[in-house]
Amino acid sequence: MWKENSIDLRLTRFFEMSARVVLSLLIFAILLAILAGIGCTIYDMRLVFQLEFHDAFKTIMVDMLTVLAIVEVLRTAQAYFTEGRVKVTYIIDTVIVTVLTEVMAFWYKEMEWQEVAMFIALVLSLACIRIIAVRFSPPRFREEL
């Protein structure tokens, strides 16, 4: 019995250490992606002088919102790294920012009213889920939200 607990403890420690190593590599990759996104956004600033303002600013805005979505992914990874769990609110924030990025990308495009309604319904449902997640979160984590 003691030997089985010892093996289970070793496997648990091995899994935790492996997860931390993989998560550290993931955080490093996310940081590189953020830096690349910032560089791409700065590079796209040249479009202000080459394209019409609306097209240039649309491209820059989509670049910035994409970087913000990656920052939300970084927040999720860091929360798992420090607390050992993933907060639902961080995931929902990431999805909301990503969906809003898609909406901004289609802002100047002709869209059917069904597609607009679908995006509105998706954002509203995600907002409701986020409110529910905050409202019914465990009491000790509520002050962080």
pLDDT (tens digit per residue) in 115-140: 878 888 888 898 898 888 888 776 65
Q: Where are the alpha helices (DSSP H) in 84-112?
A: 88-105
Average confidence (pLDDT) over 92-107: 77
Structure confidence at residue 35 (pLDDT): 95
pTM for the full predicted model: 0.69
Contact indicator for 89, 145 with CB cutoff of 8 Å: yes
